[in-house]
């Protein structure tokens, strides 16, 4: 209600995978759009996010090209070919469907010296066995994974926020009703990206402190719960590593209010590491994130295969930091469920029917109160993950 008048808000989940099916563009237009996006969406840090050293030209303190997923895992599934990325499902014509191993999941946020030392424990392929739970320095290994995920999140969201700001400045140069609406959409997305940056930065600051404590004093205080860990005696055609943040889990539990942009989120970290004929799937979370216990308890009640599907459903709806074996059947990328799952980015379109202006906060509250999110319905259908994706 507003001043005695009825305000009607109609919300609609907008999934890029659905929109792409109706896009018609020429190859020349796609190439032009790809170049424009490349020029707008760029970000370059001036100093190492971990040690604070200003980047220079020296071997130790030059800007490092880091990989969000260990290179040895990408090499394993690539077999000399470009690996399929998330766009192989979404199929946006202006983006590549596959990328070379050396350019997959890269970010430039730390110096070479830090990159060569921070991740050395978790990037040891020999530790991912059935004995992983009893690894003496388990907390250190989990913290290294968390640091990598936070760094990639910071870099990725900073790059997107910078690109959106550049787009806003470009469109604001020519103002009409359509560009004003588009400008409002950009403003909202910048708010979302900024919130994600803050959340990753807060978590990274804590993980960096722990890393120095672990490595300098060899004190492994418990920071993380290992929520799930299973070694499958087969190879999944996917490698995945990311922080996973969901509003609702696969069993309708409300985990986060993602429209409350100043609130810290409760997350878990997911790794799907396929190597040497086996696949290790592990999920872990901060002990302080109590709501993740709801997910943990459900995972423990499932078969190993269904647990992997549930984790992948939540992971693929939350992150695009995964890569697929290029030799897998093309039918996997035509699977309608996987296309929608991968395309889900939380975008909600709202149509306002009112004679009066409606505040953004009112719209956001309506979306929260009515639990409007396409991801909720999708991840509840996790059993629809094709067996092919878990190596069956």
Residue 209 lies in a domain: yes
Give how far Cα 109 sits from Cα of 196, 225, 273, 379, Å. 16, 27, 23, 32
Residue 333 lies in a domain: yes
Q: For residue 9, name the pLDDT band (cuts at 50, 70, 90).
A: very low
Strands 268-275 and 238-244, bridge-based pairing: antiparallel
Residue 246 lies in a domain: yes
Per the structure, the count of domains in the chain is 1
pLDDT for the residue numbered 236:
97
User: Model-level pTM?
Assistant: 0.87
Residue 212 lies in a domain: yes
pLDDT for the residue numbered 12:
44
Q: Which of 1-5, 192-196, 203-207 has the highest mean pLDDT?
A: 203-207
Residue 159 lies in a domain: yes
C-alpha span between 242 and 231 (Å, rounded): 18
Q: Provide mean pLDDT across the span 361-369.
A: 53
Could you tell me the maximum CA-CA distance found in the chain, to the nearest angstrom? Answer: 68
Give how far Cα 163 sits from Cα of 43, 60, 170, 351, 360, Å. 8, 30, 11, 26, 22
| Token output for 63 | 């800007």
Q: Which of 270, 256, 241 is nearest to 199 (CA)?
A: 256
Residue 109 has pLDDT above 80, yes or no: yes
Q: Provide mean pLDDT across the span 134-149.
A: 94
Residue 93 lies in a domain: no
Q: Provide mean pLDDT across the span 137-142.
A: 93
Residue 54 lies in a domain: no
Question: Which residues span the domain enclosing 383?
Answer: 8-16+118-390
Residue 322 lies in a domain: yes
């Amino acid at each position: 209600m507003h001043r005695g008048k009825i305000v009607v808000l109609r919300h609609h989940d907008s999934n890029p995978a659905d929109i792409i099916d109706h896009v018609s563009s020429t190859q020349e237009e796609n190439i032009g759009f790809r170049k424009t996006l490349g020029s707008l969406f760029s970000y370059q840090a001036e100093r190492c996010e971990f040690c604070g050293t200003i980047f220079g030209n020296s071997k130790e303190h030059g800007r490092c090209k880091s990989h969000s997923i260990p290179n040895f895992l990408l090499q394993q599934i690539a077999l000399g070919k470009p690996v399929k990325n998330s766009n192989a499902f979404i199929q946006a014509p202006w983006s590549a469907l596959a990328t070379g191993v050396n350019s997959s999941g890269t970010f430039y946020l730390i110096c070479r010296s830090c990159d060569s030392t921070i991740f050395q424990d978790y990037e040891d392929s020999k530790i991912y066995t059935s004995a992983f739970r009893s690894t003496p320095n388990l907390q250190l290994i989990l913290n290294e994974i968390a640091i990598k995920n936070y760094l990639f999140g910071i870099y990725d969201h900073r790059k997107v926020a910078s690109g959106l700001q550049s787009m806003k400045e470009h469109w604001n140069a020519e103002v009409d009703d359509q560009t004003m609406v588009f400008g409002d959409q950009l403003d909202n997305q910048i708010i979302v990206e900024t919130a994600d940056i803050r959340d990753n930065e807060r978590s990274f600051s804590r993980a960096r402190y722990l890393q120095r404590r672990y490595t300098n004093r060899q004190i492994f205080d418990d920071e993380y719960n290992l929520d799930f860990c299973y070694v499958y005696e087969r190879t999944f055609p996917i490698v995945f590593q990311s922080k996973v943040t969901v509003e609702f889990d696969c069993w309708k539990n409300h985990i986060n209010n993602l429209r409350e942009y100043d609130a810290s989120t409760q997350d878990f970290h997911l790794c799907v590491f396929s190597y040497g004929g086996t696949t290790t799937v592990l999920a872990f979370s901060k002990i302080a994130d109590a709501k993740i216990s709801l997910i943990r308890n459900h995972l423990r009640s499932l078969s190993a295969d269904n647990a992997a599907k549930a984790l992948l459903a939540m992971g693929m709806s939350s992150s695009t930091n995964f890569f697929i074996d290029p030799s897998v059947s093309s039918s996997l990328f035509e699977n309608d469920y996987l296309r929608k799952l991968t395309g889900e980015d939380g975008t909600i379109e709202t149509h306002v029917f009112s004679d009066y202006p409606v505040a953004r906060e009112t719209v956001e509250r309506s979306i929260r109160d009515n639990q409007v999110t396409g991801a909720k319905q999708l991840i509840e259908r996790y059993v629809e993950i094709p067996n092919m994706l878990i190596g069956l």
